[in-house]
Amino acid sequence: MVSRSPRSDSAPRRPTAAQFRRWGVDPLWSRVVEVPSSDGSTYTWHVLERSPEAPIATIVCVHGNPTWSFYWRSLLERLGDRYRVIAVDQLGMGFSQRTAQRPFAQRVTDLGDVLSVLDLSGPVVTVAHDWGGPISLGWALDEAARTDTCSLAGVVLCNTGVAVPAGRKAPALIRLAAAGPLTDFVGRRTRIFVDGTLMLSGKRVARAARDGYRAPYRRAADRYAVSEFVGDVPFTPAHPSAAAIDQVAQDLRSLTVPTLLAWGARDPVFNDDFALDLAARVPHADKHRFPGMGHLVVEETDVAALIDGWLSERVLHAAPVVRAEPIVHAETPPIWAAIEAKRTDTSAAFVDGGTGTTTSFAAFHDRVMGVAGALAARGVKPGDRVAVLVQPGVDLLSTAYGCWRAGAVTVIADRGLGLRGLGAAVRAADVSLVIGAPKALAAARTMRWARGAELLSVSALSKLAALGSRLPPAPKAGDPAAILYTSGATGPAKGVRYRHGQMAAQRDVLATLYGITESDRLVAAFAPFALYGPAFGITSTIPNVDVAAPGTLTADALAAAVTSVDATIVFASPAALLNVNNTANGRHTVFSKLRLVLSAGAPVPIATLRATAALCPNAELHTPYGMTECLPVADIDLTAIDAAGAGNGVCVGQPVPGVSVLIAPLGLDADRALEPLPAGTTGEVVVRAPWVSDGYNQLWRTEHEARPRTSDGRVWHRSGDVGHIDTHGRLWIEGRSVHVIHADGNPITPVPIEVAVEALDGIAKVAAVGVGPTGCQQLVVVVQDAQRPIGLADEVLIERVRAAVPHAVAAVITVHTLPVDIRHNTKIDRTAVALWASEILAGHRARCNW
């Protein structure tokens, strides 16, 4: 493996057409250019280039170390029919000529040299990765400085850096590789650096692609530049390249063109800290963070699609930032208004379900304002993000309202995400302060959820709150307030941004919809809903139940909670209500005092509603429909459910006043104007309301795709649910859009099939999924049955299912359990079911790994 080879200036032999094809590269893209260098020599550069006759713009791609232009093949493939896409092999790298060592400043000049020979015209967007980042920026900033002929139209940066982020050391792996004699060994004499880079991305790099990445670096003589690149990383100010790179880092603050940071979050080298450092230097940058992806992010996931959408939106249209509009009128009272109004009220604001301790409104007010003052005194600035890892209770309520009053943005990830999900959520949120119980803080510290953030225990905070620091100015309706998390039932949990005005609007619509007045008292059996109590200015409590297992709530525990506050309203998840019904013994007369029972978060089985109605004879039973990004969208009560009867899907009722609902075509393209479908047609549910969230955290593309516009310019939110509106204006939900079965002919929605099969005797839970490619998928019905063997159903069951379903059913399978989400314990992960069914029905062995 170790070899000594003399330095030569010849490039490795260019791959054959067959090799290029095997790697997914059109051999016609590959060419060499002779470039006179500013150092007096002429060098042979290898470039991959693809262009239509009349390109919209030129995309210049600069690779890092130790990759080559091959890294950008997905961009040539996807964008090359509209853009001129040029990916250069830097000198000494890829299949470009080998040269003497080229320090950073020389490489910037080199890039300029080759680009001038390639004769760029029209707007130019640079795209770069790894150490290609500072080099491309060096060129781009020079270009941007040319006021007369500037062609720079955009900058894209993937897992790169221009400076070691404040408060941390340079990447340990690179420091190690750059440590004196090791550099040559790791980079040139052996393939450790080349192979190691591929290893960082593991199986996400396909075998053929690995071959492509290694191709130009097979001989030690071809790897001089690999080790010299590593050696050129300035770890000390005295390093010859330090000043030049530092200049780029400084000048970056003057960059005004649209900028995109496309980031693989699992990169041990250029991790989130580098992304934050760049974001701080380019505050207008759009960010898209890929949680599961690593250093070679462009190789690992579809960054080309992200860049494609971003170019159309930002560079070609130069469109204004997409916002959920309208922002609520500024005169809406803030979310803490009721707390302020009751500052002298000695009645109970919150009763602790475990200890029975009561906190009065007056005390709660002082606590909230104390927290706000303390946070400001500790240097928390408006807009700073604060992770609140506190168990539901008065501590959580006062901390959250204190943060909001101080203008901080709360990051509240509930235990329903699971520990890993919780960590991922906090990590993605860029928090500057973590408030939590000692246990939570220890977890945050050991699992490095929030590097560089301060940690503050709840008890320390309450001591600080008692000091009575001066209150900071209150935030406005348009200011950011919170990041909430989706349940992650259909992919990684997404952070959802809310502004103060949006939260206040949500409070107002719920109060109006359910007639909530000061005479109401709330039991929040779905713990996050306890946060609404102080906003409504009503007494609230949380029953004594494990927050991570709401389905264990007993009738006794709920009755105790209802008694403790003399409750009029109960909010509980469907799973909790089910268990309450199952544990009720007919002696809970206190439930007759309830006037309203709300259940949401997942479809509520009709049997649960009926049993609850029997238990709470004087209560109206409502189930609001909505999602983390917009709640409520619609509402229905038991009477209306009965009136709606059976239909295609689950009826969720009329849209609530103030919300607009449209049905959009499936597979909607967010780059085009949204054309609603006529009533009765099945499509994706899109909504618009003052309480729709602002957008997603660090997910530019997700946000862009979730927010289409109608031709009148209004912005809508895609719910991700599929359904239709009936002739009475009621909304019916037929499943998630990602779960639609794209069969030959019309798409098939899963929920109506599941409803039909679940109506059969002895069948409780069913998932309808598609296997095979989009457009000719086959419908497969998976029935949960703990008594039958896993696999193909018996003939009797197959017959019954086929008779109940109005579509061709390719196969009926039974499983012992179907996978459900942690938070609600009811939403079936049909994607996981479909993957498993695909394997089984392909003839492979597969285990249900849920």
List residues binding another protein (CB under 8 A): 744, 771-773, 775-778, 791-792, 795, 798, 808, 810-811, 813, 838, 840-845
Rounded Cα distance, 755 and 700, in Å: 36
Please state, as a whole number, how many other Cβ atoms lie within 10 Å of the Cβ of residue 287: 18
In 282-431, alpha helices (H): 297-300, 303-310, 337-341, 361-377, 394-406, 418-428
The 8-class DSSP code of residue 419 comes to H
User: Shortest approach of another protein to residue 24 CB, angstroms?
Assistant: 18
For residue 289, which phi and psi values (nearest 5 degrees)?
-110, 130
**Residue 197 or 777: which CB sits closer to another protein?**
777
Cα–Cα distance, 726 to 694 (Å, whole number): 29
* Distance between CA atoms of residues 320 and 308, nearest Å: 17
Contact 575, 607 (CB under 8 A): no
- Local structure of residue 730 (DSSP, 8 states): -
Nearer to another protein, 316 or 811 (CB): 811
Min CB(758)–another protein separation in Å: 22
For another protein, the closer of residues 169 and 207 by Cβ is 207
- Output 240 or 789, the one with its CB closest to another protein: 789
Is the Cβ of residue 33 or residue 841 nearer to another protein in the bound state? 841
C-beta of 181 vs 773, nearer to another protein: 773
Minimum CB separation of residue 780 from another protein in Å reads 9
Going by their DSSP bridges, the two strands 731-736 and 766-771 should be labelled as unpaired
| 8 Å CB contact between 800 and 809 | no
Minimum CB separation from another protein for residue 838, in Å? Answer: 7
Helix, strand or coil, per DSSP, at residue 290: strand
Q: Which is nearer to another protein, 523 or 813 (CB)?
A: 813
- Residue number with CB closer to another protein (114 or 837): 837
The distance of closest approach from Cβ of residue 135 to another protein in the complex, given in angstroms and rounded to an integer, is 43
Q: Tell me the β-bridge partners of 61.
A: 87, 127
Q: Which residue reads 């929920």 in tokens?
A: 751
Closest to another protein by CB, 152 or 813: 813
CB atoms within 10 A of CB 223: 27
- Please state the closest distance from residue 834 (CB atom) to another protein, in A: 12
Q: How far is the CB of 759 from another protein (least distance, A)?
A: 23
Which residue, 3 or 774, has its beta carbon nearer to another protein?
Answer: 774
Give the residue with the Cβ less far from another protein, 194 or 840: 840
- Least separation in angstroms between CB 300 and another protein: 24
Dist CA 842 CA 5 (whole Å): 51
Smallest CA-to-CA distance from 480 within 426, 533, 379, 406 is with 406
Nearer to another protein, 738 or 808 (CB): 808
Spatial distance between the Cα atoms of 413 and 429, rounded to a whole number of angstroms: 10
Pull the structure tokens for residue 135: 């080099």
The distance of closest approach from Cβ of residue 812 to another protein in the complex, given in angstroms and rounded to an integer, is 9
Alpha-carbon distance of 478 to 482, in angstroms, equals 12
**Three-class HEC string of 94-144:** CCCCCCCCCCHHHHHHHHHHHHHHCCCCCCEEEEEECCHHHHHHHHHHHHH
Q: How far is the CB of 290 from another protein (least distance, A)?
A: 27
SS3 state at 491: coil
| Nearest distance from C-beta of residue 818 to another protein, angstroms | 18
Q: Least distance in Å: CB of 767 to another protein? A: 16
> Min. distance of Cβ 836 from another protein in angstroms?
11
Residue 816: CB atoms within 10 A of its CB come to 12
| CA dihedral angle for residue 203, residue 207, residue 209, residue 215, rounded to 10 degrees | 120
Bridge-based pairing state of the strands 42-50 and 30-36: antiparallel
| Residue in 518, 529, 625 with CA at minimum distance from that of residue 570 | 529
Residue placing its CB nearer to another protein in the complex, 548 or 810: 810
Which CB atom, from 347 or from 774, has the smaller least distance to another protein? 774
For 518, list phi and psi in degrees, rounded to 5.
-65, -15
The identity of residue 821, as a single letter, is D
Q: What is the DSSP letter of 166?
A: T
In the complex, minimum distance from the CB of residue 21 to another protein, in angstroms, rounded to a whole number: 14
In whole angstroms, the minimum distance from the beta carbon of 772 to another protein comes to 4
CB 346 within 8 A of CB 361: yes
Q: From the CB of 779, what's the least distance to another protein, in Å?
A: 11
| Least separation in angstroms between CB 847 and another protein | 12
CB of 841 to another protein, least distance (A): 5
Select from 276, 302, 295 the least CA-distant residue to 199: 295
Cβ contact 258:57 at 8 Å: no
Q: Which is nearer to another protein, 192 or 841 (CB)?
A: 841
Under a CB-based contact definition with an 8 Å cutoff, are residues 579 and 573 in contact?
no
The span from the CA of 519 to the CA of 285, in Å, is: 48
Judged by CB, which is closer to another protein: 14, or 788? 788
SS3 of 598-635: the string is EECCCCCCHHHHHHHHHHCCCCEEEEEEEECCEEEEEE
Instruction: Choose between 392 and 770: whose C-beta lies nearer to another protein.
Output: 770
CB atoms within 10 A of CB 436: 23
- Of 387 and 740, CB closest to another protein: 740
- Sequence length of the chain is 850
Assign 225 to helix, strand or coil.
helix
